[in-house]
Amino acid sequence: MGIERSEIEKLATLSRIAIDEGTISDVARRLDSVLQLVDQLQAADTTGIDTMAHPMQAIQRLRDDRVSELNQRDALQAIAPAVEDGLFLVPKVIE
């Protein structure tokens, strides 16, 4: 089962990754080898085995609901390309 060129293009769009024409077949070949590995994994019989949410045998620690982060807007916005009145500015997005 080879991965189609159109599927690579769709994944690139979804991931916002630019893949130039010349490298598509190379990317397809490498993704194919990953998928072959997945096929092997899927061949294993997992009847009666629960889905594993995480590989570590540990559970989530919970945090008390107490404000511990104070306003650091100036520091955090110092690296933003554009800000105005405390807002981060981005190219116009309207649905």
Partner 1 sequence: MSHRGWETVIGLEVHVQLATKTKIFSGASTAFGAEPNTQACAIDLAMPGTLPVLNKQAVNYAIMFGLAIDAEIARESAFERKNYFYPDLPKGYQTTQLEKPIVGRGNVEIQLADGSKKSIRIHHAHLEEDAGKSLHEGNFSSNFSGIDLNRAGTPLIEIVSEPDMRNAEEAVAFAKKLHSIVTSIGICDGEMSQGSMRFDVNVSVRPHGTTELGTRTETKNLNSFKFMEEAIAREVERQIDLIEDGGKVIQETRLYNGDTKVARSMRSKEEANDYRYFPCPDLLPVIVSEETIAELRRTLPELPDARQARFVAQYELSDYDAGILSSDAATAHYFETVVSHSNNAKLTANWIMGELSARLNSQDLSVAKSPVSAEQLAGLIARISDSSISGKMAKDVFDGMWAGQGSADDIIEARGLKQVSDSGALEKIVADVLAANPAMVEDYINSDESKRGKKLGGFMGKIMQASKGQANPQQVNQLLLQKLNTLL
Choose between 22 and 41: whose C-beta lies nearer to partner 1.
41
Q: Nearest approach, Cβ of 38 to partner 1 (angstroms)?
A: 13
Choose between 43 and 53: whose C-beta lies nearer to partner 1.
53
Burial code of 26-46, b = ≥16 C-beta within 10 A, e = fewer? ebbeeeeeeeeeeeeeeeeee
Choose between 1 and 66: whose C-beta lies nearer to partner 1.
66
Q: Nearest approach, Cβ of 61 to partner 1 (angstroms)?
A: 7
Report how far residue 29's alpha carbon sits from residue 41's, in angstroms, rounded to the nearest whole number: 19
